[in-house]
Amino acid sequence: MIVQLKKGATQEDIKRTVERLIQLADEAGIEVHYHTVQGEELPVVAVKAAGADIAKIQEERLRQLDCVEDIKRIAEPYKLASRSYLDRRIVKAGGMEVGGNRLCIIAGPCAVESEGQIMKAARDVKAAGADMLRGGAYKPRTSPYSFQGLQEEGLRFLRQAGDASGLPIVTEITDPRNIDKYQKHRVDVYQVGARNCQNYDLLKALTELKGTAAAVLLKRGMATTLEELINAAEYLLAGNVHNVMICLRGIKGIDLKYTRNSIDTGDISVLVQNCNIPIIYDPSHACGKRSLVLETSLGAVGHGANGLMIEAHPDPENALSDGHQSLYSAKDPENPMGLFRVIEDVRKYYDFRLKITGTNG
Domains of the chain (ranges plus CATH)?
Answer: 2-72 (3.30.70.1140), 91-357 (3.20.20.70)
- Give me the pLDDT at residue 361, please: 62
Q: What percentage of the chain exceeds 70 in pLDDT? A: 97
Arithmetic mean of pLDDT, 224-233:
98
Question: What tens digit of pLDDT does each residue of 182-219 get?
Answer: 999 999 999 999 999 999 999 999 999 999 999 999 99
Residues 206-216 have pLDDT tens digits of 999 999 999 99
> Residue 40: is its pLDDT beyond 70?
no
CA 175 to CA 347: how far, in whole Å? 35
Contact by Cβ (8 Å): 217, 280: yes
Collect all residues with Cβ–Cβ distance below 8 Å to 168 and sequence separation of at least 6: 93, 94, 95, 96, 131, 132, 133, 162, 188, 189
Residue 263 has pLDDT above 70, yes or no: yes
Neighbouring C-beta atoms of residue 255, cutoff 10 Å: 7
Average pLDDT of the residues of the chain: 93
Q: What is the pLDDT of residue 358?
A: 77
pLDDT, one tens digit per residue, over 51-100 is 556 777 888 999 999 999 999 888 888 989 999 888 999 999 888 999 99
**How many degrees, rounded to 5, is the angle at CA 333 between CA 247 and CA 286?**
25
For residues 304-318, one letter each, b for 16 or more C-beta atoms within 10 angstroms of the residue's C-beta and e for the rest, the string is: bbbbbbbbbbbbbee
Confidence tier at 326 by pLDDT (50, 70, 90)? very high
Helix (H) or strand (E) holding 161: helix 152-165
pTM exceeds 0.85 = yes
Dihedral (CA of 222, 225, 229, 234) sign: negative
Q: Answer whether 310's CB lies under 8 Å from 125's CB.
A: no
* 3-state SS, residue 133: strand
Cβ–Cβ contacts within 10 Å for residue 143, how many? 7
Is pLDDT of 178 > 60?
yes
